[in-house]
Amino acid sequence: MTARERVAGTVANYVDERTGAAAWMKKNLQKVFPDHWSFMLGEIALYSFVILLLSGTFLTFWFDPSMRHVVYEGSYQPLKDVEMSAAYASALHISFDVRGGLLMRQIHHWAALIFAAAIVVHLLRVFFTGAFRKPREFNWILGIALLTLAIVEGFLGYSLPDDLLSGTGVRIAHAIIQSIPVVGTYLSFFAFGGAFPGEVFIPRIYIVHVLLLPGIFLALITVHLMLVWYQKHTQYPGPGRTEKNVVGYPLMPVYMAKAGGFFFIVFGVTAFISAVASINPIWLYGPYTPGQISAGSQPDWYMGWLDGLVRMAPPIETYFFGYTVSWNILIPGLIVPGILFTGMALYPFIESWITGDKREHHLLDRPRNAPNRTALGAMSITFMIVALINGGNDLIATHFDLSINQIMWGTRIGILVLPPLAFVITKRLCLSLQRADRELVLHGRETGRLLRLPSGEFVEVHEPISPELAWKLTAHEQAPPLALEDVDTRGVRRAGGLKNKLRKRMSEANAESIAKPTANDLKEIEHH
Ligand code: HEM
């Protein structure tokens, strides 16, 4: 034993005798995780969160969250002697006068964009593979909470520098708060400490941005990962993989090494992008003044869909007893997002209600084998993309020489027509892919080799597929629709008839599929 090993052994013994950590570590470090590239998406979210914490801490050393008026005396000459808030002046100071400050600001902003993107892509992976099903519904809801918080945290972050762009965003948030019937005006007075923009908003959102939300994030992410640990990770179907086992590699050393390396890759890529690609050049926008707005104002991408929805709403307002209700802000700014996010959070329960499936699922679905769910996902993505496009309608208009009204009307019609169309097309595509799978299992792979038979007929030679692939293509279940009769066995109409009917229709639509090949089908073909 070398001296170094002896020291390591002594330290390990010392810690173990006091904490009993060895048995716990032995058990947990050998835990097996299934392997698939798509399981890295959650990790990217995790690592960008760590990057956000590190770079954000650096920024707090110089950022001054105050709306006190100052005259800029820093080294950026175009803004010299301009009156501005201390917050904006300190953000300029970080960008131009603190060593490495601009790089850190850019790392922080790029990491926020990547964090939000990674969360969304991770969510889509979980959704399209059905990983949210029992017993993981709670983790799904936690995920939706994390996504919502990430959007809010990002918005508060880019509102802090108090430049013209961020002030414009805060103005929209102010309008959305005010649109809430009855309490809106009071809430806005409360948030802004009086009339907009006031003197207290930035110090308040600063505390929420650097203390409150990161704390909540840390707690929720910890619970999220503990649940992944406790419930075990799902796995894709394949030979030897069942609902009762986990096929993969142990955490130590395989995943420890992979995860460590991957963290540095994410950090490296974020730092590289931040070093070469400018993001949020606040010095170009100037300080915020409520009377001004810069052309082409765009929020960060995760807010763009919301801005797009608000921009496309027709100007509808009603007056009740001297009060104005601005439906054009209330519906796109609060009601639609509220319905979308609540619907997403409840989706695992809605799906299990439709299918009547209350069992645990640890094997993932291939998206084509759940056509309804996949189509619903495609429909939601289409909705968001149309809204996002309208969020950039002014820039699209100037770049492509279009009229802003054309884009507005295009997206107004598009948001109603395209999502259902995406649903129908995706569902048909999934069923076609199922048909292709069935053909592959029954008739094997086309080799491209043509044979001419003695009769003169040309036939293509097919090659049987491997048993592993055949297993993968046929391992899924095809449950029949729920048998919900309108009348019970004695001919009496069931209570909740309409609800039953709706459930039955949805269950039938959900169960639509191409029958997978059975052993009998195969035998019949072999017989031929
Ligand atoms: C701060 C944001 C988030 C972080 C850091 C995070 C992190 C992770 C990690 C590292 C995993 C294990 C690896 C993987 O399956 O990718 C995971 C699994 C999971 N996440 Fe997230 N996640 C976040 C947000 C979300 C969101 C928005 C959802 C969905 C609404 C979600 C739902 C789930 C579920 C259901 C699992 C278990 C998946 C399985 O066992 O297959 N997470 N998360």
DSSP 419-468: HHHHHHHHHHHHHHHHHHHHHHHHH-EEEEEEEE-TTS-EEEEEEPPPHH
- Give the whole-angstrom CA distance, residue 118 versus residue 47: 10
Distance 124 CA to ligand 1 centre (A): 10
Write the pLDDT tens digit of every residue in 340-383. Answer: 999 999 999 999 999 999 999 999 999 999 999 999 999 999 99
Ligand 1: which of 224, 241, 247, 340 to mutate, most ligand atoms within 8 Å of CB?
224
Q: What is the pTM of this model?
A: 0.93
Ligand 1: which of 31, 139, 349 to mutate, most ligand atoms within 8 Å of CB?
139
Listed in order, strand segments (DSSP E) in 139-250 are 249-250
- Three-state DSSP at 389 gives helix
Asked if 423 and 375 count as a contact pair (C-beta separation under 8 A), the reply is: yes
Ligand 1: which of 126, 221, 241, 247 to mutate, most ligand atoms within 8 Å of CB?
126
Can you state the percent helix, strand and coil of the chain, rounding each to 5?
65, 5, 30
Minimum-distance ligand 1 atom for the alpha carbon of 364: 41
Write the pLDDT tens digit of every residue in 293-332. Answer: 878 888 999 999 999 999 999 999 999 888 889 999 999 9
Residue 12 has pLDDT above 80, yes or no: yes
Res. 28 pLDDT band, cuts 50 70 90:
confident
CB half-sphere exposure, 351, CA atoms < 13 A? 23
Asked if 147 and 52 count as a contact pair (C-beta separation under 8 A), the reply is: no
Distance 255 CA to ligand 1 centre (A): 17
What mean pLDDT do residues 120-127 have? Answer: 98
- Give the whole-angstrom CA distance, residue 333 versus residue 316: 13
Among the listed residues 345, 253, 247, the one whose alpha carbon sits nearest the alpha carbon of residue 33: 247
- Give the whole-angstrom CA distance, residue 357 versus residue 237: 19
pLDDT of residue 506: 94
pLDDT of residue 209: 98
Minimum-distance ligand 1 atom for the alpha carbon of 139: 35
What mean pLDDT do residues 249-272 have? Answer: 93
Nearest protein CA to atom 12 of ligand 1, as residue: 42
Residue with the bigger pLDDT between 494 and 195: it is: 195
Res. 252 pLDDT band, cuts 50 70 90:
confident
Among the listed residues 321, 423, 345, 353, the one whose alpha carbon sits nearest the alpha carbon of residue 381: 423
pLDDT of residue 198: 92
- Give the whole-angstrom CA distance, residue 141 versus residue 132: 9
What mean pLDDT do residues 399-403 have? Answer: 94
Residue 494 has pLDDT above 80, yes or no: no
H-type helices in 30-75, by residue range?
40-60
> 């797009």: which residue's tokens?
308
Res. 513 pLDDT band, cuts 50 70 90:
very high
Minimum-distance ligand 1 atom for the alpha carbon of 345: 30
Residue with the bigger pLDDT between 54 and 240: it is: 54
Amino acid at 36: H
Distance 125 CA to ligand 1 centre (A): 9
Ligand 1: which of 49, 120, 122 to mutate, most ligand atoms within 8 Å of CB?
122
What mean pLDDT do residues 161-187 have? Answer: 95
Minimum-distance ligand 1 atom for the alpha carbon of 227: 37
Asked if 485 and 494 count as a contact pair (C-beta separation under 8 A), the reply is: yes
Amino acid at 457: E
Nearest protein CA to atom 15 of ligand 1, as residue: 39
Residue 489 has pLDDT above 80, yes or no: no
Please name the residues in contact with 191: beta carbons below 8 A apart, sequence gap of 6 or more.
Answer: 174, 177, 201, 204
Minimum-distance ligand 1 atom for the alpha carbon of 231: 40
Distance 135 CA to ligand 1 centre (A): 14
Res. 167 pLDDT band, cuts 50 70 90:
very high
Res. 488 pLDDT band, cuts 50 70 90:
confident
Minimum-distance ligand 1 atom for the alpha carbon of 149: 1
In the chain, what percentage of residues exceed pLDDT 90? 82
Distance 423 CA to ligand 1 centre (A): 25
What mean pLDDT do residues 480-501 have? Answer: 80
Q: Which residues have C-beta atoms less than 6 Å from ligand 1?
A: 39, 41-43, 45-46, 49, 119, 122-123, 126, 131-132, 136, 139-140, 143-144, 146-147, 221, 224, 228, 233-234
Nearest protein CA to atom 30 of ligand 1, as residue: 143
Residue 34 has pLDDT above 80, yes or no: yes
**329-338: burial string, b at 16+ Cβ within 10 Å, e else:** bbbbbbebbe
pLDDT of residue 501: 87
> 């003044």: which residue's tokens?
289
Give the chain's length.
Answer: 528
Residue with the bigger pLDDT between 418 and 479: it is: 418
Residue 519 has pLDDT above 90, yes or no: no
Among the listed residues 361, 378, 303, the one whose alpha carbon sits nearest the alpha carbon of residue 337: 303
Minimum-distance ligand 1 atom for the alpha carbon of 40: 16
Tokens representing residue 298 in the block: 């765009």
pLDDT of residue 201: 96
- 512 secondary structure, DSSP code: -
Minimum-distance ligand 1 atom for the alpha carbon of 120: 27
